[in-house]
Amino acid sequence: MKKIALLPIVVVLCTIAPSGQVAKPAAQATFAPDRLARIDRALQEYVDESRIGGAVALVLQDGKPVYERAVGWSDKEAGRRMTPDTIFRIASQTKAITSVAILSLMEEGKVGLNDPAGRFIPGFEKTTVAERNGSDVSVVPAKRQITIRDLLTHTAGVSYGTNASVASLYEKKGLGPAAGFGWYTADKSEPVCDTMERLATLPFVAQPGEAWVYGYNTDILGCIVERASRVPLDEFIRTRITGPLGMKDTQFFLPPAQRDRLAAVYASGSDGRITRAPDGPKGQGNYVDGPRRSFSGGAGLLSTARDYSRFLEMIRNGGALDGVRILAPRTVELMTTNQVGSLHSPTGLGYGLGFETTDRFGANGLDSAGAFGWSGAYGSLYRVDPKARLVITLMIQLVPSRSDIGNRFPTLVYQALY
C-alpha cells in the first residue's frame, strides 16, 4: 500500500514544479511515509464500505507532490476505475477562480472593490430585502447598494433562494428550489447575465454588509467580469487564468468525446451508503449534453485534482507560477485575509475575498493560523496552508452527502507531518 502513490508523484513533479528552477531541498523531511499510508487505508475503507464511489487525493508541499492517490471507481456501474486525471464537478470551488478573475480586473483599474454592482448590472441599482418579523415577512428597500466587496465576502445578503421566506418567489423565476439545490444553472439556455438580471428583481435575505449569507454572490461577480471585460466568462477564465497556468482540464462544459473522463455522481442514503445519483440538476447534471450557455461563476466549473492544485499553488506562491503572474502578491494577501470580522464565524474562522480563512490554530481542525480554503457541493475540498507550505486537494462526487470524509481527510494529511 505504501508504494502505490510513488509513480504518479514522479510524473506530476514535472507538471507542477516551476519550470526552469532547481527544486530546493526542504529544511527537513516533513512527512512520515508510514503515516501517509494511513490515508491509503482510510480512503480504501470509504470505498469498500460504499460511503464514496471513489476519490482522487493530492497533497503538495513547496509545490511538489508528497502524496497522490486515485482510489475506487470513477463510474462503478460502468466499471471505470478512478484515475489521477479523472474530471470532477467542482461546484463552489469555482468561486475562488471567479474571485481571481474579478480581482485581476481590479488590478487593471476596470473595477473597484467599492464599486456598486449596479454599475455593471442595472437591476442591482435598487434591490430589496425580505425581512422576517415573527411569522410575517415584509419586503423593504435595501439600505444601500450592494458592492463588489460585499459579493466577494458573501456579505451582500444574497442567498441561494431556498430560505422559506423567499423560496416560492425564487422558484417562480427559475431560481432557488427550481435550480437543483439552488446553485445549479448548467441546464439554463440563457447567458448568466440574463439570469442575474432576473435575480436582481427578487428580494434578498439580509441588508448589505450586515450578515454573512452564502448564495449567488459569485455568479453575480461572473456577470460583472463579462460586463467589465466585454468577454464571456468562460473565455476570460480560459485566456487569463486556466490557459496561462496550463490547466487544460478546467472548463464549464466537457467535450462529448471526453465524457468517459467525468466521474459519476453518487448520493448518500440515510445509512450513509451510496446509490447512483439521478440525471438532472440534483444528480449527474448537464455538463456534457446541456445547452452549454450558462457559465456559473459560483458553481459551474469542472476540473481535476492536478489542475486545481496548480491554481492553488499559484495562490500559495503569491499569485505566480511557472513564470506566469496572475495576481500581485498584495492582492493575494488581501484575498486570504479575513475581511468580515466575526460575521462568518465567532469561533476563529473568517472570510476573505473568495476564501474561508483560519484565523487561529484549532478553529479548523489542524489547520495553521493563516490557512485558507473551501469546498464544493459535490464533496470536493481544498486547503492551502502557507505556514506548512501545503496545498491539500480531495476530489469526490457525492450529493447529497452524509459522509465525514471532508473532516477526516485534512486531519489524515496533517497527522503525517513531523
pLDDT at 22: 39
Number of helices (H), then strands (E), in the chain: 11, 16
**Mean pLDDT, residues 310-323:** 98
H-type helices in 201-353, by residue range?
217-229, 233-237, 305-316, 329-335
DSSP state for residue 277 in the 8-state scheme:
P
**Is the model's pLDDT at 7 over the cut of 70?**
no
DSSP state for residue 117 in the 8-state scheme:
G
Residue 352: what residue type?
G
Residue tagged 441588508 (cell numbers): 207
Mean pLDDT of the chain: 93
pLDDT at 135: 85
C-alpha to C-alpha distance for 150 and 321, rounded to whole angstroms:
29
Other Cβ atoms within 10 Å of 162 Cβ, number: 17
Other Cβ atoms within 10 Å of 404 Cβ, number: 11
Report whether 368 contacts 387 (CB < 8 A).
yes
**Is the model's pLDDT at 168 over the cut of 60?**
yes
396-413 tens-digit pLDDT: 999 999 999 999 999 999
pLDDT at 12: 39
16-63 tens-digit pLDDT: 444 434 343 444 558 999 999 999 999 999 999 999 999 999 999 999
C-alpha to C-alpha distance for 338 and 148, rounded to whole angstroms:
16
C-alpha to C-alpha distance for 326 and 307, rounded to whole angstroms:
15
Provide the angle, in degrees to the nearest 10, between the axes of the packed helices 6-16 and 305-316: 50
**What percent of the chain clears pLDDT 90, i.e. is strictly above it?**
92
Residue 98's alpha-carbon distances to 76, 217, 270, 291, 400, in angstroms, are 32, 11, 34, 21, 24
DSSP state for residue 26 in the 8-state scheme:
P
pLDDT at 208: 98
C-alpha to C-alpha distance for 178 and 231, rounded to whole angstroms:
28
C-alpha to C-alpha distance for 215 and 39, rounded to whole angstroms:
33
Domains of the chain, CATH where assigned: 24-91+237-414 (3.40.710.10), 97-231 (3.40.710.10)
Residue 260 has phi, psi (to 5 degrees) of: -75, -10
And the C-alpha cell for 87? 474530471
**Is the model's pLDDT at 151 over the cut of 70?**
yes
The enclosing H or E element of 302 equals: strand 302-303
Residue 16 has phi, psi (to 5 degrees) of: -105, -35
C-alpha to C-alpha distance for 168 and 404, rounded to whole angstroms:
32
219-238 tens-digit pLDDT: 999 999 999 999 999 999 99
C-alpha to C-alpha distance for 268 and 389, rounded to whole angstroms:
34
64-106 tens-digit pLDDT: 999 999 999 999 999 999 999 999 999 999 999 999 999 999 9
pLDDT at 30: 87
**Is the model's pLDDT at 165 over the cut of 70?**
yes
pLDDT at 28: 53
C-alpha to C-alpha distance for 362 and 149, rounded to whole angstroms:
28
Contacts of 287 (CB under 8 A, 6+ apart): 89, 186, 252, 253, 254, 262, 302
DSSP state for residue 251 in the 8-state scheme:
B
Greatest Cα pair distance, the chain, in angstroms, is: 65
pLDDT at 86: 98
C-alpha to C-alpha distance for 403 and 393, rounded to whole angstroms:
17
**Is the model's pLDDT at 358 over the cut of 60?**
yes
- Among 11-20, 229-238, 240-249, 348-357, whose mean pLDDT is lowest? 11-20
Q: CA torsion sign, 162 to 185 to 146 to 209?
A: positive
Residue 205: what residue type?
V
Report whether 380 contacts 356 (CB < 8 A).
no
